[in-house]
A and B are shown apart, each in its own frame.
Chain A
Amino acid sequence: MTTPAALGRDDVAHVAALARLALTDEELDRFTGQLARVIEHARDVAALDVADVVPTAHALPIRNVLRPDEPEPCLDRDTVLAQAPEVEDGRFKVPRIVGEAP
């Protein structure tokens, strides 16, 4: 059974961009070394042949949870908006979205 290639600098740059984190060149080098060691350790798991084992996402038996759809009080809008960095007309305000680079 093959295991994936070791984690490299390009992988770290890629996942940092996906996670919306900006890294300096020095950070990119340091994080690459540190994360490569963790992934290297994880190769014991990656190398296991467990194709016939059912994956566990949740340790205990779990069932769907439903409740009656009854209106009830929620958090006050002004209380919630008071914690926001920027607000306008009772809404969260953000910088430009439309027209941004893809």
Chain B
Amino acid sequence: MSAAAAAGAAAPSAAAIAAAVRSGERTAGGVLDASLAAIAAGDGEVHAFLHVASDAARADAEAVDAAVTAGRDPGPLAGVPVALKDNLCTRGVPTTCASKILDGWVPPYDATVVERLRAAGAVVVGKTNMDEFAMGSSTENSAVGPTRHPKDRTRVPGGSSGGSAAAVAAGFVPVGLGSDTGGSVRQPAALCGTVGLKPTYGVVSRYGLVAFASSLDQIGPMTTTVADAALVLEVIAGHDRRDSTSLAEPPPPAGRSLDRGVEGLRIGLCRELVDGTAPDVAARVREAVEALAAAGATVEEVSVPEMRYGLSAYYLIAPAEASSNLARYDGVRYGLRVDAPDVASMNTATRTAGFGPEVKRRIMLGTYALSAGYYDAYYGKAQRVRTLMIEAFARAYATVDVLVGATAPTTAFPLGERVDDPMAMYMSDVCTIPSNLAGHPAISVPFGSGADGLPVGVQVLAPALGEERMFQVAAAVERAAAERRGTAGAGEAGA
């Protein structure tokens, strides 16, 4: 299929589906049928899903329709089909993190986000492909094979939440959930042409998210519109006593700023998030910023030089935390066990057979960064650089309200291009990592396409708990992208 043909197939937004189901105009069962039919027709080639939970989804949909029939409101996501990255625990439905070490594991509990989605009327359709344990930027590190870009099957969808991004971009579901440790929601969203949000650290509970790097991990939605991302965030955000790092204060408002416009806002075009990106990507970012200026914002170029250390700091901190978190896969309590005469050799045999090459690289890298003689030089330095990054952001936000830049340095790259060169793959995250290190929110909004006709994402970054402002600007970027296409209401076809 050509990129243009696929881009024309805009599915209804989550907000439109929920409105139709709440009013009785559509049934959740009918919406689910359409979603399952689209998956059956298209996912053989795309491979976005690892597991389609048809029976559980049918039960969810029937509960929503029964509520409507009984005159009860099923909630703001009534009947909305949702795809979940396979590192989000689902009771009774396999959760594998696309790893052989968790093959066949069926969690005995739901992640908090899954409970909250269902309580809001959403229908969980299935679990999506990912880089093993969320380690990667292309979804090629999946133990069950890669996901392909819905608009060009020879390209990657990005990663690590590539399955959820592809499921939304292909029109299988209007909402996907991913996890973003160094850009794993925003980067695949940019490459596939969807909206992708990483909330402020602690806004969304991590309970039931399989841990990768606990001080960086945050769950976020992938959607076809900015308004849908705000809608889903409002459902999944909020304190959870089962995640001690979830923020006690009420979550930041998300949806109410979307129509405010950007008149009088101060926008910083972030030099480090433009320099070094491909010329076509940089051109789209500059066009987006010009559109914001035309809409009444004040634009200035801002430099956050400490960002240049982000990649190194991230690839010490994240593997260090991962090496500790993944120690739990020892063949004792769940998942794979490879038999051996004693416990230590059983642990080794299990981990050697169960983990793929990238997971092994990260575990070894983290073990090295934490080991005696290197701790101060690597992990200790990286933590201090993290402080410098936070201070540099604070200086930038003293003069501007939000920062704008690219989400990813390039458009979707060919399958296989970077898989044997870890450092080249890591470079895909260079624009998204700084927000994770600082704990800040950031969102990727589709804005035009590159020279190859594939989507480009423009990233809007805000300070901690600055979601309201971030959404205000993201909505303006979305309107500008729609004007650029010569159509009205980005992604709102069918609404």
Contact = CB atoms under 8 A, between A and B. Distances in A.
Interface stretch (B128-136, B381-389, B448-456, B467-475): B381-389
A53 B332 contact: no
B351 A20 contact: yes
Given A31-B360, A80-B108, A11 B368 contact: yes
Interface in A40-87: 41-42, 44-46, 48, 50, 53-60, 62, 65, 67, 75-76, 79-80, 83-86
Given A18-B367, A19-B351, A80-B108, A58 B245 contact: yes
B312 A95 contact: no
Interface stretch (B35-43, B56-64, B337-345): B337-345
A65 B106 CA distance: 30
B309 interface: yes
Interface of B: 105-106, 108-109, 200-202, 215, 241, 244-245, 247, 308-309, 311-313, 315-316, 323, 327, 330-337, 339-344, 346-349, 351-352, 355, 360-361, 363-365, 367-368, 371, 373-374, 377-378, 380-388, 390, 422-423, 426, 437-440, 464
A55 B201 CA distance: 18
A35 B364 contact: yes
B332 A50 contact: no
B363 A83 contact: no
A79 to B, nearest CB: 5
Contact of B365 (A38, A55, A67, A80): A38
29 contacts: A4-B373, A4-B378, A7-B368, A20-B344, A20-B348, A21-B351, A21-B363, A35-B364, A38-B315, A41-B311, A42-B315, A42-B382, A44-B308, A45-B313, A46-B381, A50-B385, A50-B388, A57-B215, A57-B383, A58-B215, A58-B245, A59-B201, A59-B437, A75-B108, A83-B334, A84-B332, A94-B346, A95-B343, A97-B342
Contact of A55 (B311, B347, B380): B380
Nearest to B424: A37
Contacts of B105: 83
A46 B377 contact: yes
A76 B91 CA distance: 13
